[in-house]
Amino acid sequence: MLGFAQLFASRLVKAAAILIAIVVMNFFLVHAAPGDPAMVMAGEAGAADEKFVTQLREQFGLDRPIYEQLGTYIGKVVQGDLGFSYRQQRPVWDILAERLPATLVLTLTAFILALAAGVALGTLAAVTVGTWADSAITVIALLAYATPIYWIGLMLSLLFSIQLGWLPAFGYETIGAGYTGLAHVADVAVHLILPVITLALFYMAGYARLTRASMLEVRSLDFVKTAKAKGLTQGRIVTRHVLRNAILPVITVAGIQAGQLVGGSILIETVFAWPGIGRLAFEAVLQRDYQVLLGIFLVTSIMVILFNILTDILYGLVDPRIQVSQ
């Protein structure tokens, strides 16, 4: 157990170093893009003079040398302050906190759904390899993976909202309905269906293909033959022997994707007017809202690092042969 604690501690130290590198790199990357927020706002206003742009730059702190700006930023981040969005006139934490629930409810639901359905379908395809069921699953997965996600979203919306009128086409909740409690949950859930299905279809396709390929590989290994020779039932072989060994690459990919969940999905959020982080990030890029963008980058980096550590731990649990190397 000491080994585990040591590993965890050393990973955390490394993670902190990586995080600082990420912050510095992001900072320069973001500032390397041509134009600045003051210029964007001047462009949007349709009129400008020197004073307008100068005033904004002063207010945003953009008139300071870049290293001083970096120093100020890191100083704040270390204290847990993500800065202030001058464009939106609010602290970055508040902006992120406001968008985070919508993003998480969308991406987490889609992620869990995709993972469950993907692994189940992949397993089914591998077990029935060569039959019509396998072909059907493979084709559907391929289609879902290859079709542009926004197009699927628009088509679903066209069918279920415009033609059939069953589900709302976009949005997070019914505006002005003032639902509370369970009614509110149900309202959000109804709005959630189309974006979740669209997003989950895409992820699911990946997991299904991965699971199938990995299972087919493991299935031909010697220990599976041994299990068969021992006379174990087909179900037991598939779940205990094949799937458990084949699931490792799926965990790797899922771990990476889980880290990105807080980043949201720009396309889905745009098509369905879902008020999430992905859209916020995209708009922040266009508006050169440096502080918001850096804040999203930082939160996403932290999540990716955390989930990587979690994934490593999970490996050990799923497959005890994977040991901590000292």
| Closer residue to another protein in complex, CB, 150/315 | 150
Residues 326 and 26: their CA atoms lie apart, in Å, by 32
∠ CA(203), CA(205), CA(209), 5° rounding? 125
Q: Which stretch binds another protein (CB under 8 A): 70-78, 96-104, 216-224, 230-238?
A: 96-104
CB 264 within 8 A of CB 277: yes
- Among 212, 219, 241, 288, contact with another protein (rule: CB under 8 A): 288
Could you tell me which stretch among 93-101, 192-200, 224-232, 242-250 binds another protein (CB under 8 A)?
93-101
Q: Least distance to another protein from the beta carbon of 290, Å?
A: 11
Footprint on residues 154-213 left by another protein (CB under 8 A): 154, 157-158, 161-162, 169-173, 175-176
> How many helices and strands (H and E) does the chain possess?
14, 2
Q: Which two tokens stand for residue 2?
A: 């000491």
Q: Percentages helix, strand, coil for the chain, rounded to the nearest 5?
A: 80, 0, 20
State how far the Cα of 279 lies from the Cα of 320, in Å rounded to an integer.
41
DSSP 8-class letter at 33: S
Quote the least distance from Cβ 180 to another protein, whole Å.
Answer: 15
Residue (163 or 325) nearer to another protein, CB = 163
Cβ proximity to another protein, 25 vs 155, nearer residue:
155
The stretch among 121-129, 193-201, 284-292, 306-314 that binds another protein (CB under 8 A) is 284-292
Query: 142-145: which pairs have CB atoms within 8 A and are 24 or more residues apart?
Result: 142/205, 142/209, 143/205, 144/201, 144/202, 144/204, 144/205, 145/202, 145/205, 145/206, 145/209
Is 87 or 209 the residue whose CB approaches another protein more closely? 87
Half-sphere exposure (Cβ direction) of 62: Cα atoms closer than 13 Å? 21
Closest approach of Cβ 293 to another protein, in Å?
12
CB of 59 to another protein, least distance (A): 6
Return the sign of the alpha-carbon dihedral for residues 2, 309, 275, 284: positive
With CB under 8 A as the contact rule, the residue among 11, 52, 108, 227 that binds another protein is 52
For residue 9, the number of C-alpha atoms closer than 13 Å in the C-beta half-sphere is: 6
Minimum gap (Å) between residue 193 Cβ and another protein: 16
Residues at the site binding another protein, with contacts judged by CB under 8 A: 33-37, 39-53, 55, 59, 87-90, 95, 98-99, 102, 150, 154, 157-158, 161-162, 169-173, 175-176, 269-273, 275-276, 279-280, 283, 285-288
